[in-house]
Amino acid sequence: MNFRLEKLIPLPMADIPNRKSDFWEADSFTFQQGKHYLVEAASGKGKTSLLSIMYGLRKDYSGKLFLDETDAGTLSIKRWSEIRKNQISYIFQGLELFDDLSAIDNILLKNNITGIKNSDDIKRMAEQLDIADSLAKKCRFLSFGQKQRVAMIRALCMPFDFLFADECFSHIDRKNSEEAMKLIIDECASRDAGLILTSLGNSFHTFENRILL
């Protein structure tokens, strides 16, 4: 699946004078499946807005968004929920974990929809990210950095054509971040999926495409 943006601007962004961003000014931009994109900008420049629009959570934009050849504005709730189950995975900046469930239950909630990973796969990923010991704990008792890694594993427990990672390393130390990046890149490669990663601008990984907002 590819995304094509045509003069797409989130409405709150449209009002900001002197945006000076090639990306927002461009007539058309395409995110291609299989390629990796780094979206860099300071806070409040519309990174999360962009991903939310592309994930169907926000409709407040001008211009057009196409998922392959389909206008995103015409997609039904039903179609969006299918896309979110099988085509786009999202590591939310706000994590969106259920505090009352244990870490493993949060992951299984997602994994059980498609059953793509078995318990060994999940355990291996948890070990790679150094949170295997915390899986049985309720999320409310985990640190934000641990939660970020739980959210990451959850996002990998589904088939997808694109993975959105919204500042997902902000509270993770350098070593674990590198492990996590490796895991994400591997998982994307195994699915031939695209990756859009947003960052405040101190990336440790070289991306083929960099977008400055």
* Shortest distance (Å) from residue 202 CB to other proteins: 27
Q: Which is nearer to other proteins, 105 or 178 (CB)?
A: 105
25 belongs to the binding site for other proteins (CB under 8 A) = no
Give the chain's length.
Answer: 213
Q: Are 99 and 63 in contact (CB under 8 A)?
A: no
* Shortest distance (Å) from residue 125 CB to other proteins: 18
The tokens describing 34, both together, are: 């299989």
Number of residues this chain uses to bind other proteins (CB under 8 A): 24
Q: Which is nearer to other proteins, 71 or 82 (CB)?
A: 82
47 belongs to the binding site for other proteins (CB under 8 A) = no
The tokens describing 97, both together, are: 């974990």
Q: What are phi and psi of 209, to 5 degrees?
A: -125, 125
Q: Are 197 and 169 in contact (CB under 8 A)?
A: no
Q: Are 149 and 196 in contact (CB under 8 A)?
A: no
* Shortest distance (Å) from residue 75 CB to other proteins: 12
DSSP H or E segment with residue 85: helix 77-86
Among 50, 53, 83, 172, binds other proteins (CB under 8 A): 83
Q: How far apart are CA 148 and CA 167, in angstroms?
A: 10
- Window 96 to 115, contacts with other proteins (CB under 8 A): 96, 98, 100-101, 105, 108-110, 112-113
85 belongs to the binding site for other proteins (CB under 8 A) = yes
Three-class SS state of 210:
strand
Summarize as ranges the residues that interact with other proteins (CB under 8 A). Answer: 55-57, 77-78, 81-86, 90, 92, 96, 98, 100-101, 105, 108-110, 112-113, 158
